[in-house]
Amino acid sequence: MKYLEFKSVKPLENYIQLVWISESEFPEDRFEKVKIMPDGIVEIVFHYHDPFITYLADGKSFKQPKGFAISQMRKFIEIKSNGKTGFVSVRCYPWGAHHFFKEPVKNFLDDTNDIKHLWKDDSEIILDQLKATNTHGKKANLIQTFLLDKLNENKKESHSIDEAIKLIRKTRGNS
């Protein structure tokens, strides 16, 4: 299994912690079931191969959409590959994700939100471009360019809210 990390580009560094890619190197590569604990982070995932299966704490499971955002969670989930692995994931800062969406992040607390809902027609375009892109660096750049466009489209002037969240996080709520 291949795992690569990419720093966010300068205009996105205040919103995105990290862009990472996981991909099968061999047909037998599998991403075994792993538990993900609540962490206050929003991740945006773009599958260019087979989407994973998500297992909820209540025992239910579902196949992930090709692209989705998962918001802050109050319960753990587990994920497992469902075929060939290949995805780009964007790990946002707790204050960063809402800048990319028209819809408030609180509307999909404890849930995955398909990018078809978040970005309508642009969702298919970015997924098609991602599949057609042949290097990991280009995939990371493609996703960051897409998110930079979304950041500019949504133009949220909520710097005081961002700073308050940063302070709470820095002091671990003890301020």
pLDDT reading at 65 higher than 90: yes
**Distance (Å, whole) CA 37 – CA 148:** 28
List pLDDT tens digits, range 82-133. Answer: 999 999 999 999 888 989 998 888 887 888 899 999 999 899 999 999 999 9
- Indicate the number of domains in the chain: 1
Closest CA to 96 of 149, 141, 163, 37: 163
| pTM above threshold 0.85 | yes
pLDDT reading at 54 higher than 60: yes
Residue 159 has what pLDDT? 62
Residue 169 has what pLDDT? 56
How far are the Cα atoms of 29, 45, 50, 75, 155 from residue 12, in angstroms, in the given order?
32, 16, 28, 29, 13
CA atoms within 13 Å, Cβ hemisphere of 25 = 4
List pLDDT tens digits, range 141-172. Answer: 999 999 999 999 877 566 655 555 555 556 66
Q: What CATH number has the domain bearing residue 70? A: 2.60.120.10
**Domain region containing 44:** 2-171
**pLDDT band, residue 41 (cuts 50/70/90):** confident
List pLDDT tens digits, range 13-37. Answer: 999 999 999 999 988 888 889 999 9
Torsion (CA) 77, 120, 8, 96 in degrees, nearest 10: -70
Residue 18 has what pLDDT? 95
Q: Hey, which bits of 57-150 come out as E strands?
A: 61-63, 67-70, 77-80, 86-92, 112-114
Residue 133: which residues within 8 A CB-CB, separation 6 or more?
139, 142
